[in-house]
Amino acid sequence: MSDLMDKIHSTFIEGDRWKYLTNGLKTTLIITFFAVLLGMVLGFLIAIVRATHDKTGKMKIANFFAKIYLTVIRGTPVMVQLLIIYYVIFASVRIDKTFVGILAFGLNSAAYVAEIFRSGIMSIDNGQFEAGASLGLNYRKTMMYIIMPQAFKNVLPALGNECIVLLKETSVAGYIALEDLTKGGDIIRSVTYEAFLPLIAVALIYLIIVMFLTMLVSRLERRLAKSDRG
């Protein structure tokens, strides 16, 4: 028992090594938060393009590029995308790594968010579009006031899950030497030669955050289900 206490002490307390974890967590949360924002905004715009094309046949060129984007982003690992953005696209400029992380994970998430939004829009009965049109509401107004509020509600749980996935995916940020939570644990491991404690600690922190977010999503789902029943 005292052996374990000693180990905890030497792993986390000595040299204030716990700060690797807290600073790492801060970085992870910052990257996740802004990447989610970027992903939502960009994903929403891509979804509008895709759905408008599917529904009206317009925006052919924008849809073409959107499709390429989705294919490339969803067809390659996020880690490779991160490495390419850092070592290829920003190779010759000094740039804040956190920013690179936000950009890489945000661009990646946007592709998934776009498909979530699009499926939400396409799941709305075509009669809703027709009802809007028959009242004189054009496509844009029908989208804005009739389709989007319903679609958004339908996809909220899926969007919540995307946030959870994104949080976990940021754990590869260490590959561009970003000191996120995972990297923080790994640094402790490399200093103390003790793998068990720091890595388990990192896993626990992720788990707690994910469980918290999962609880929020399922609470949201219950609330939405209730309002569906009227």
Partner 1 sequence: MIEVNDLKKSFGDLHILKGITTKIEKGEKVVVIGPSGSGKSTFLRCLNRLEQPTSGSIIFEGEDLTKASEKRLYEIREKMGMVFQHFHLFPHLSIIRNLTLAPVKLGLMSQAEAEKSARAMLKKVGLADKENAFPNQLSGGQKQRIAIARALVMNPDVMLFDEPTSALDPEMVGEVLNLMKQLADEGMTMVVVTHEMGFAREVASRVVFIDQGVIAEENTPEEFFTNPQNPRLQQFLSKVL
Sites of contact with partner 1 (CB under 8 A): 125, 127-128, 130-138, 141, 145-146, 149-150, 153, 228-230
d(CA 27, CA 184): 10
d(CA 109, CA 43): 8
**Cα–Cα nearest to 71, from 40, 50, 45:** 50
User: Nearer Cβ to partner 1, position 2 or 227?
Assistant: 227
User: Nearer Cβ to partner 1, position 3 or 228?
Assistant: 228
User: Nearer Cβ to partner 1, position 14 or 125?
Assistant: 125
**Cα–Cα nearest to 183, from 11, 28, 6:** 28
User: Within a 13 Å sphere around the CA of 131, how many CA atoms are in the beta-carbon half?
Assistant: 8
Closest separation in Å from C-beta 54 to partner 1: 17
Closest separation in Å from C-beta 141 to partner 1: 6
d(CA 107, CA 42): 8
Closest separation in Å from C-beta 133 to partner 1: 6
User: Nearer Cβ to partner 1, position 75 or 127?
Assistant: 127
Closest separation in Å from C-beta 122 to partner 1: 17
